Structure formats: structure tokens, C-alpha cells
Structure 1
Amino acid sequence: MSHKDPLLQPFQLKHLTLRNRIITTAHEPAYPEAGMPKDRYRAYHVERAKAGVALTMTAGSATVSKDSPPVFNNILAYKDEVVPYLKDLVDECHEHGTAVMIQLTHLGRRTGWSKGDWLPVVSPSHEREASHRAFPKQMEDWDIERIIKDFADAAERMQAAGMDGIEIEAYGHLHDQFWSPLTNTLEGPYGGSLQNRVRFTLDVLEAIRARVGTEFIVGVRFTADQAQKGGFGFEEGVEIAKLLKASGHIDFLNVIRGHIDTDPGLTDVIPVMGMRNSPHLDFAGEFRSSVDMPVFHAAKIPDVATARHAIAEGKLDMVGMTRAHLADPHIVRKIIEGREEQIRPCVGATYCLDRIYQAGDAFCIHNAATGRELTMPHDIPKADVKKKVVIVGAGPAGMEAARVAGERGHEVIVLEAAAQAGGQLLLTSQSPRRQEMISIIDWRMAECERLGVEFRFNTWAEAADVTTLKPDAVIIATGGYPHTEILEAGNELVVSAWDILSGDVKPKGKVLLFDDAGDHAAMQAAEVIADSGAELEVMTPDRAFAPEVMAMNLVPYMRAMQQKDVTFTVTFRLESVQKEGDGLVARVGSDYGGVEKYRHVDQVVINHGTRPLDDIYFDLKGTSSNAGEVVYEDLIVGTPQTKVNNPDGAFQLFRIGDAVSSRNTHAAIYDALRLVKDI
């Protein structure tokens, strides 16, 4: 019964009653415009509020000072004009019964001097952070006084916006740069002893309370154990918590473990696919038993069962399911309605976080409506007229098309050449590190079965097979095949990364893997080769390898392969391969010119993306009403496709995903959603 569910019990935080125990912790999807949380940002948080989340913590983090320029598109809490935008967000979330707080920070050394107003980066030492690379100025007394005031000013703005409270960020940012002996070399009142190192935070809290009064909720999110040589450990973390509590100025603690000054450190704090779920939950429970305060925590808690366990066992007071809510913003509603099995699973791909740093804003790898709430629906509305939709291909694009068409109430038939759904994700999930990706397919299959979608497997569809079904709309989602014919000579002597992943070709001897796509397929194949005991060189013409894998996802690959016989070579291009005895000779050049090198190897593997499997699309194009044309203006704004190029055409025809061009899983799913939602 829902009323007995530990997750659905209210929690009293000071004067504020939180309606259940599930929160989204502070994170920055990078949706602001010029530092302001406008319509897109508001719609993102409101979607989660109307589905029942107890507390949405905005910003990750909002910066309080001009010498703390955002490292991506963060909210600028030092500007007065932020207040009305935040007030609109708060008011609408409150209408749906959700509390709203915001995380405030000064980044300290975790930013760059060449951003924003080109002011020096500041920190309690001159020690540079590896990730953001800036050498900071060691803070002076007037820097400290100025930033304390900036925190108080920002808190006052947040109170004016109607926020239920604020959270001070203290892991990796300025506050715990003061706390850690690794990053605090000051003398006097703010350096030396632990009491002195925490003094800056205590002074900030005192200044905030002087502005906002005693009722406004104030918390701190911090690491209680840096898990880093030379840093502070659990005992000091507990002591810091007791100092914060003794100040009388804080109402909750949001605890994590680890450090974020390097990519590996960040990935241990926020684990990605292939790493253990909820790795810090027991740690958080131990911390809670050591301090008499409300404790929040989030770190790869992707499923309801684990969240329920965390509350039922008293490990936490509030459980953060943040990435899980990017995958499915309606988790709480589905729990209340007894539909847990319909929750779209977070697969831990961390496309959301990695993409912020690479491309500027967060998207979920398999929920294309997240971050696009203004144009894309999370709940698919029924169509006015029931149609017959035929989909060719049951990879991620085809499965999303089938799900959305099913939600629209259409009769849906899926033709798939293989014996099961999955497409490229069947290959992806062969790797233990990436096996969670198959949940993208499994969830859609379960939804399609619920919606009555018909699947015809082991069916190699020809144009006549499609037209015989008399469809109103046809979606071609046949995907692609690996493209390896990129050499001047010797293309017949190479194998693809897919050949290695599928097991059709076994690694042998000395292997050269030439990666000219920079995606997961190359890294997965590399790991298979390394695990086989083969000697491996991974070569790329780029100046960095695996750019499409992105920073956090690269960490587990590197940890695995650096322990094996693997060499990484950048800025060199494989030009040709020829036979020599029982082996191969690879000729290597460079886009920079003037280079000719040779590698004597036993096997050459090439990863160069895919080419579309699109014959059936072109066979059907002439008999379709739109001749396959997509009106991009309508696609972009999310309105129906109505173009008619052939009045005698019997059906609309579209192709999506890699059947168009080599892209990624998110692109394939987004193609399907934005086309099919209006059919």
C-alpha cells in the first residue's frame, strides 16, 4: 500500500513539510540563457514537480561572485535580475506541491581565469586543480571579506525569489578548498588547524543568517571524506559536520565521499555505467549515525528499490534520484499509482553530465524529452485518428518509434530482420561495462507489449512486404553497417570494431586499432582485445583519443586498459595495409604532413562509424506521399509533417537514426520521438 511505502512518508525539515522522501539534488543541466533560468530551465524543473518529487534542488551550482565564472552555463546568483526568473520557477513548482531550493557556490580554483570578466581565479593556496587547469591567486584578507559578503547577498536574493532554502556547495569548490590541507596553505585565522580551516564557512553561514533570519532553511552539501592522499578523512569529516551544527546556522547536511579535481575523482563521486550502484550509500548511513542532523545523499541510486531501502533502513532522511529523474521525471507519480514497472530506467550512461562539458547542455541518452519540455512531450497524447504505422528495424530508433506510435493509439507493426530487438545495442551490451544499455531496449519492449505493438522478427523486409500491409506511415529504422573501406590500399585485410565486439573475429597477436570515429565502439573493442592478452596499439588522427566517449565515461576504460599491454597514439593516420608473410604491414602517415612510419602487426581493426542500410527507403520513396522529405522547420519546432510531393502516394515515409547517418543512441531516439509524436 502506498501509504505504507517508506518513500512516500512526509519529512519535516524545520517548518517545511516535504511530501515524500525523494529529491533531485543540485545539478546544472546548463539550460540558462546568459546565466538566467528562463522558460526552458523552468519547464524542466516544473515537469518533475508536477509528477510529485518532494524537493527540487536547482543549480549545480549558482555562482555568487564575478571571480567565480561558470565552467559551463550556470545560474549567475550575483545578479539582481535573476530574482524574477527564479520566482517564476519557484511559484510554479509550489503550485504542484514541490519545495524548491538552490545551491550556491564560489568555485574557487575550479574554474578558469579566461572566462567571464577575466579576473584571477582565487583559492586558499596556489595549487592548481588538474581538471580546470587554472593557477589560482592565494586569497588575501579582502578577497575573503568580499566573498563572504557575496554569499550573503546571493542568499538574500534567493529568499526574495521565494526559495524554501539554500544549500552551500562544499565539495571541490571554495569552501572545502579551505577545509583541505591539500588546498589551504594560509596562515592565521583561516589556515592551520581544522577549526581555522572551517572558519571561512562558519563566517559565510553567520553572514547569511544575518541577512535571511533564522527561519530560512540553510544546508551544506559536502564531502565527509576526500578519499585522497593528504586530504581529510571520515573522522575529520564528522568533526567538520559537528562544527557546522554547533554554529546553529544549518538545518541539513547533504553528504558525499570523494574528490572531483580530476576526471577519475569525479567519476568515483558520480559513478557511471559499469561501476557499482549506490557505492556511497552505506558510507552516508554511517555518517548519519555519527551526526544528529537530517542527512541527504545522492550517488548512482537509479532504482526505486534501492531508494526505498535507504529510507527504510534509516541510512538517509531524503534520497536523491537525480540522474534517474532525467531518465524519467515521473518516478514519484508512477510509484503512487502502482506503476513502478513502467519507470524508464536510468542506465548510467552519464551522457547527461559528460555532454554538458563537451556540448553545452544535458540530455538523457534515452529520454529525448528531457531538456526539451517546451517542445517534446513526456506523456504522449492520443491521436485523433487511428492509423497503421509500419516500422522497419527494431534498434533504439525503431523501438522508440514503435513505443510512441503505440502511445498515440495507432496500429503498429515492426519488421525486424534479426531474431530479437536491439540493433547496435545488442553489440554494445556484449561488454560487461556497457551491459546496462540493453535496458533501453528492454523497457521499450515492455512498453510496446503493453501497448499492443506487433513484432515480426526474422523478417528481412522488402518494399513489397511493406506496401502489402497498406500503411498510412512507414518509418525506416534499419540502422547502418560498419564502414571500413577508408584506406588507400588493403581494405580487404582489415576487420571492424563490430567484428571484435560480436566475437566473429578473435583478437590475435599484435593488434593495431585505428579509431577515426572516437566513440564507444572503439573503446569497447580495445578492451576486448586487451583482455584477450593481445598486444594493442590504439591509434587516432585526432589530437585526443575517444572524444565522443567523453571524460567521465573514459575513466573506467582507462583504468582497465592501462593495466594491460596497450599503447595510445594520437595525431597519426593509418593509410594502407599490405600482407607480409603471415602478418601485416601498416603504413602510417599524419594529417600534419611529412611522416611515413610502418607497423608490423598481426591484425588491423578499423572503427570509422557506419554507412546507412537504406535500400528499402529508396525503394519506397517513389510511392510515398512526401517522397521521404522532412520539413526541417516543422521538425525543429515540433509541429506535424504535412508536406505532400506525390498526391498519389499511399503513405508518409521517413527514415531515422543511423539509417540516415552515423550518429548516436540519443540522436536515434530523438529522431523517432519528434517525428512520430505527431503522426
Structure 2
Amino acid sequence: MPSTLTSDPLLQPFRLKSLTLRNRFMSTAHEPAYTVDGMPKDRYRLYHREKAKGGIALTMIGGSSVVAQDSPQAFGNIVLYRDEVVRWLKELTDDVHEHGAAVMIQITHLGRRTSWSTGEWLPVVAPSPVREPAHRTFPKAAEDWDLRRIKAAYADAAERCQAGGLDGLEFEMYGHLLDQFWSPATNRREDDYGGVLENRMRFSLEVLDAVRRRVGPDFLVGCRLVCDEDWDRGLSREEGLAIAQRLAGTGQVDFLNVIKGHIDTDEALSHVIPGMGARSAPALDFAGEVRAATRFPVFHAARIQDVATARHAVASGKLDMVGMTRAHIADPHIARKVAEGREAEIRPCVGMGYCIDRIYFAGEALCIHNAATGREATMPHEVARSGGPARKVVVIGAGPAGLEAARVAAARGHAVVLFEAADRPGGQVALTAALRRRREIQGVIDWRVAACERDGVALRFNAYAEPADVLAEEPDIVVVATGGLPNTSFLDAGHDLVTTTWDILSGAAKPGERVLLYDDNGGHPGLTAAEYLVEAGSRLEFVSPERVIAPDVGGTNYPAYFRALASRDVAFTLNLRLRSVRRQGNALVASFEDEYGRRTIEKEADQIVVEHGSLPNEDLYFALKPLSTNLGEVDYEALTQDRPQAVRANPAGRFTLWRIGDAVSSRNIHAAVYDALRLLKDV
């Protein structure tokens, strides 16, 4: 891999026993839930191969790969207790090695951090019968025969990993069975495995010894371990450092991968995996303290999103390998771009947490603004130039959908003109960025604008495109990405009396004193507006027809909202559906249907803010539709099977017409950029 920055600390090799890692970039173990029947098959392999192609030194697969049947998958984990896994590990390893990267795996027994009502329906075990709030399972206290069979399961799993050609493995020791023995919060035993720290460490050392005897002295073995649970009930910093020193001194461990915090609740997890608005690298200094105390190779990852922070982590001697896991989900080619002097072209991780949150409510990790991640078999991370004739492409709208369409078309080598009615790009992303804590989301827009400018897209702002403006460009392809407009059509009456979340976030409406916010979207927009309102000083009641607040906001995201709202005593009301609004004197009265009580409930406020998604801004599309060769039609079979569009429904048409993003229906950023990428990548 060519380098113009040979003195860059991030590009220096690192030797770990007999393995030389080509630079200091790594992706720590995580589970994207790409397994099939518990096996890391083609999708899993291609996802990690892409990082190897992108220049990474070490990719760690199998976040929480499970070693035993009574540690069933919690979210698509690799299953290591079946021999068939060896074949799939070998295929993945060979592919990653071919592109110059090393690959390791994380192995674990989840202990109480899973559910008994899945897999083989076996009881969940833990050191003591202490329930984990996150997974809501009541475990049984592990018996002596449980400990014997789990030790054997660890050794068997490690042997399969070695047979699969992996460069090494790490034990998962934060929130899982091994460190559940360490923590006073979860270990209340009175036998040889409880009480003083030496006893609480006993089981993990026995497992380590069993694994090392099975794989031999040369196979790399590390620990991803919590060194401070940052919790008055849990493992202290002093005991955590003592554990790290003990493990480093065993002679059986080759590296430590440091974690700070605990993960048994969503609120706690949101600090271990910090999201948008959190400070950069909050546990980096602590990881450096562990390295200084142990004088041992230390890895670490926690919101190290940008190259400058990663460079500092290595240059300052805090880390030997720097984990940029979510950053590599956003852009798997970080290392190569750094080596080629192209840091400015790295697609930024904006900290939205769409990747991790999706594994729980949708069964797969996806990046909010890289639609190729997890789809490497069909979607390109870097768009290739077209081998055909250059086309003229006109895009209307500079939100995520329009900018992605323009970026991809320009990267293909086509001449692109983009019209935007506003004076700046962004669309609805600009509304989200109005909340200070979520300003990073602007990176979705800024990165695309920079790419468009590099490839010569003509960006025309303050340009409200009419059909005549589009036709004047004599386009071959027209992409309508005009987005949507706030939807208040669900109301029976009072449309003119309500304020939309768009009004609040754009500054078009001033926040009221007594505000009722009705959220019938269930995603980020309602909570974003709520946080904005309370920051402005509003006394807020948040009302939803759902049985939970914001069901589409995931576990690492909603804690930040709730911290902000709890500090302002926001009232929450569920199971009420807004039907109408009327004026009564100087106040507004909202009329709600209580479907369960079969009654009407009224609530009074100075301002009623509504969030009900958007309706397509579609006038331009329908004006252009009869002039197009495809009459706006998209061949869904071709689209989903990765074939170019070839619809020709109107011989007299002058151009191909597509509409994408919220100009089709109210969705999200990922849907918008995915629409654009899969339509334009073959033009």
C-alpha cells in the first residue's frame, strides 16, 4: 500500500509475538448480525474483506461468538460450538489474509446477557441469580458441573478458531460470564469462586489455562476486559487495574483490549458505546493508564471516530492498536486513504448509532449514510467510472438523497447539475442539526458536498426548479429528490392551529411556554424536537399513540434524549391518538382518542407541536412524468437483483425519470442514500 506519510504513527507496523500488523488501525469485535444459521458465510466474509482491501491491519470478527448451547445467540452471534464453523472461518480468514490484513475472533459465554427463551431453551447461568435489566433474564447460579463443561466448551471453541486459520482470539470479559465472576454486582457466591478478588478471578484463569493448553503457546490470545465498571456496585478502578496486571503477568495473554463502564442497562451501555454529542474518546486516557500500569500491548475503542484522535492515541503512547470500529463501518478504506494522503475523502462516522441499534430492532447492522456496508456483494464502496458515453444528469434537491445521486453520477463520469430551492444543502438533516447535541449529523451532507465539488457537479442553490428549468438542461436522466413536507393530514380539524417539528427546529416558530408535543412518527424527529423545546425553556408534555416512547429509536440513542428530558421534568403520556385541535380563548385544546378506554380526552396547551412524518413534495415529479421515457417507473425486480434499469414505456419520452428518498415516502437517511446508490451506480 503506497504511503506519502511514512512517519505517520498510524502507519507504523506493530509486532505481536510472531504476527506483524502492517499499521495501527483495527476494527474491534462487534456483531453485525450477518450470520446465516450462526455461520459467518458470504455476507460476513465480504464485509470483513472490504476492510482488508481498505488497508486495515487487524479486523476482529465475531463480537461475542458463543462457545456453548446455554449461551444462545442474542443478536446473530457466530456459533462456535458446531464443527461446521471451521469451514466458514477458513474461507473468511483466507480472504482477509489475501488482502494483507490479520483477523482474529472474540469468544465468549454470555452468562446472564442473553435469553433462555431462544435456541435450545436451556437455563441461563451466571455466578449468582442476579437479573440483567437489559436482557431481563433470571439466571441460575452456575454449579460445579456447569463450570466444568463451560471450561471445556471454551477450549473446544478455541481449537475450532485455530483450525479456521485465524491469527488469534480474544476473550470477551465485559458484561459476560467471565467478568460477571469478577464484579461484586453480579458475584455473591460464598464458595471458592466468590468473595475476595483472587476467588472471583479463579474461573477466568481456569478458562484461560484450558484454552492455552489446547491451542499451544504460539497462537495469539488476548482479553477484551473491563478495567473499571464506573459504578458504585461494580468493579472498581483499583480492582480492575489489579486484574489487568494479573492477566498480563500470567504469560498466557498477548494483549489487553480495554473497556471502561458497565453494560447491563441501556443507559450504562450508552456510555460504553458513546454516540452523537458525546465527547471524543472519553476512555482513551484511562486506557493509557492501563498500558502504563501493565507495560503490556493495549488496544482500545470507544468513540475514536477521526484520524486525528487515532493518531494522537498512538503518538502519545496511550495505545498500541487503535480501534475505529464504527468509523470503519462508515468507511472501510480509512487506512488506505490515510496512506495515500486522502484523509479529507474519508466518509465520516457521525455517531448516530444506526449500526448498532439496528441489530436489535431490524436484525442487521447498517451505516446511516453508507449503503454499501453489509451489501458488499452488490453495492460499491467506491463508485467506478462508466465505460459508456457520458450522460447529462439533472438532480433536484440537495438533501441526502439528491446529494448522493449527484455524487454517484459524477463519480461515474457524467455531467451533473443539481438544483436546490434553499440557499444551502441539507434538507431535513439541517433540521436535525439544529439541536446542538446532534450537529455531527451535518457530516452526512458536508462529505457529499465536498465529493460533488471534487467531481465537478454544478451546485445551484436558491434555484427553485420548474419543469422548464429541467428541460432547458437537455437531460438524459432526471432524479427528483425534492423530499417531503410536514404531514398534518391525519387531523380531522385544526390543521392551521398546530405547529410542526419542522417549524420548531427551523426557527420558523418560537417555542411556546406550555407545549404539547404529539409524536406519531416513533423515530428521532419527535425526540429531537422535544429536546430542542426543553432546552428553549418550554414546559413539555410528550404524547404518543404508541405503547412505548419512540419505538424506532434504539438502545444506544434514546438514553441521551431521556437524560435531557428527565432533567426538565417532561411529562409522558402514552396510548392517545390526536384527532383534532381547536382554539379556546388564548389556549389550544387537543382532542385525543383513547382506544382502550373508548373515550375522548382533551388537553390544553399554549402550543401544540405535531410530528407525523412527511408527505412527498411531488408536484415537479408528476409534471415531468409524462415527458419521460419510463414514465417514472422503476423495475423493482431489476433493482433488487442488482441489474440496470431498462424500462421504456414512452417512446416519445426525452429522459429517464426517477424519484428517490422522501419524495417517494417518509423514510430515513439510509433509505434515501440507498435509493440513490442502487439506481445511479450503473448509469
Counterpart of 1:21, as a letter, is: R
SS at match of 2:627: coil
SS at match of 1:3: coil
SS at match of 1:357: helix
Q: Deviations over 1:165-199 (max 9, x none)?
A: 00000001111100001101122221111011011
> In 1, distance between residues paired with 2:501 and 2:632?
31
TM-align CA RMSD: 0.9
- Which range moves more in the overlay, 541-550 or 106-115? 541-550
How much does 1:588 deviate?
1.9
Residue 660 (structure 2) pairs with residue 626 (structure 1): no
Counterpart of 1:68, as a letter, is: S
Q: Deviations over 1:19-48 (max 9, x none)?
A: 101100001111010101111100000000
Q: Of residues 162, 166, 171 in structure 2, which corresponds to 1:163?
A: 166
Q: Alignment identity in percent?
A: 59
Aligned to 1:448: 452
Q: Of residues 531, 536, 540 in structure 2, which corresponds to 1:532?
A: 536
Residue 648 (structure 2) pairs with residue 659 (structure 1): no
Is the contact between residue 530 and residue 565 of structure 1 (CA under 8 Å) also seen in structure 2?
A: no
How much does 1:573 deviate?
1.4
Matches within 5 A, 1:164-183: 164-183=167-186
Consecutive unaligned residues in structure 1, runs of 5 or more = none
Aligned to 2:264: 261
> In 2, distance between residues paired with 1:257 and 1:204?
23
Q: Of residues 1, 12, 17 in structure 2, which corresponds to 1:14?
A: 17
Aligned to 2:122: 119
- Which range moves more in the overlay, 444-453 or 577-586? 577-586
> In 1, distance between residues paired with 2:594 and 2:421?
40
Counterpart of 2:456, as a letter, is: G
Counterpart of 1:439, as a letter, is: G
Counterpart of 2:554, as a letter, is: M
> In 1, distance between residues paired with 2:111 and 2:14?
34
How much does 1:126 deviate?
0.7
Q: Deviations over 1:413-445 (max 9, x none)?
A: 001111111111111111111101111111111
How much does 1:488 deviate?
2.1
Q: Of residues 433, 440, 447 in structure 2, which corresponds to 1:436?
A: 440
How much does 1:592 deviate?
2.5
Residue 462 (structure 2) pairs with residue 458 (structure 1): yes
Counterpart of 1:358, as a letter, is: F
> In 2, distance between residues paired with 1:459 and 1:432?
28
Aligned to 1:148: 151
How much does 1:62 deviate?
0.5
> In 2, distance between residues paired with 1:177 and 1:217?
24
Q: Of residues 24, 40, 48 in structure 1, which corresponds to 2:27?
A: 24
> In 1, distance between residues paired with 2:342 and 2:42?
30
Is the contact between residue 21 and residue 318 of structure 1 (CA under 8 Å) also seen in structure 2?
A: yes
Q: Deviations over 1:332-389 (max 9, x none)?
A: 1101111011001111111000111110000001100000000000111111221000
SS at match of 1:100: strand
Matches within 5 A, 1:214-613: 214-383=217-386, 384-613=388-617
Aligned to 2:678: 674
Q: Deviations over 1:519-565 (max 9, x none)?
A: 21111111122122221110101111112222211111111110103
> In 2, distance between residues paired with 1:665 and 1:486?
23
Q: Deviations over 1:557-596 (max 9, x none)?
A: 1111101031111111122221111112222222324132
Is the contact between residue 581 and residue 591 of structure 2 (CA under 8 Å) also seen in structure 1?
A: yes
Q: Deviations over 1:617-639 (max 9, x none)?
A: 11111111111110111111221
Residue 98 (structure 2) pairs with residue 89 (structure 1): no
How much does 1:491 deviate?
2.0
> In 1, distance between residues paired with 2:475 and 2:643?
21
Counterpart of 2:545, as a letter, is: P
- Which range moves more in the overlay, 378-387 or 593-602? 593-602
Q: Deviations over 1:282-307 (max 9, x none)?
A: 11111110112100000010000110
> In 1, distance between residues paired with 2:206 and 2:356?
32
Counterpart of 2:624, as a letter, is: L
Counterpart of 1:464, as a letter, is: A
- Which range moves more in the overlay, 104-113 or 239-248? 239-248
> In 2, distance between residues paired with 1:245 and 1:527?
45
> In 1, distance between residues paired with 2:573 and 2:39?
42
Q: Structure 1: which 4+ aligned runs deviate by more than 6 Å? A: none
How much does 1:461 deviate?
0.7
Is the contact between residue 272 and residue 553 of structure 1 (CA under 8 Å) also seen in structure 2?
A: yes
Is the contact between residue 83 and residue 160 of structure 2 (CA under 8 Å) also seen in structure 1?
A: yes
SS at match of 1:571: coil
Q: Deviations over 1:608-662 (max 9, x none)?
A: 0000001111111111111111011111122100111011211110000000000
> In 1, distance between residues paired with 2:638 and 2:292?
56
> In 2, distance between residues paired with 1:251 and 1:444?
41
> In 2, distance between residues paired with 1:41 and 1:258?
29
- Paired residue total: 679
Counterpart of 2:256, as a letter, is: L
Q: Deviations over 1:290-330 (max 9, x none)?
A: 11210000001000011000000000000001000001000
SS at match of 1:374: coil
Is the contact between residue 432 and residue 438 of structure 2 (CA under 8 Å) also seen in structure 1?
A: yes
Give me the TM-score of the superposition, normalised by structure 2: 0.98
Q: Deviations over 1:256-300 (max 9, x none)?
A: 100000001101001000111111111111111011210000001
> In 1, distance between residues paired with 2:116 and 2:594?
34
> In 2, distance between residues paired with 1:71 and 1:432?
34
> In 1, distance between residues paired with 2:382 and 2:580?
51
SS at match of 2:170: strand
Counterpart of 1:73, as a letter, is: G
Counterpart of 1:125, as a letter, is: S
- Which range moves more in the overlay, 6-15 or 578-587? 578-587
> In 2, distance between residues paired with 1:469 and 1:5?
47
Is the contact between residue 534 and residue 565 of structure 1 (CA under 8 Å) also seen in structure 2?
A: no
Is the contact between residue 541 and residue 591 of structure 1 (CA under 8 Å) also seen in structure 2?
A: no
How much does 1:243 deviate?
1.8
Counterpart of 1:433, as a letter, is: R
Counterpart of 1:609, as a letter, is: G
SS at match of 2:37: coil
Q: Of residues 129, 142, 149 in structure 1, which corresponds to 2:132?
A: 129
> In 2, distance between residues paired with 1:504 and 1:608?
18
Counterpart of 2:662, as a letter, is: D
Is the contact between residue 245 and residue 293 of structure 2 (CA under 8 Å) also seen in structure 1?
A: no
> In 1, distance between residues paired with 2:433 and 2:297?
39
> In 2, distance between residues paired with 1:592 and 1:482?
28
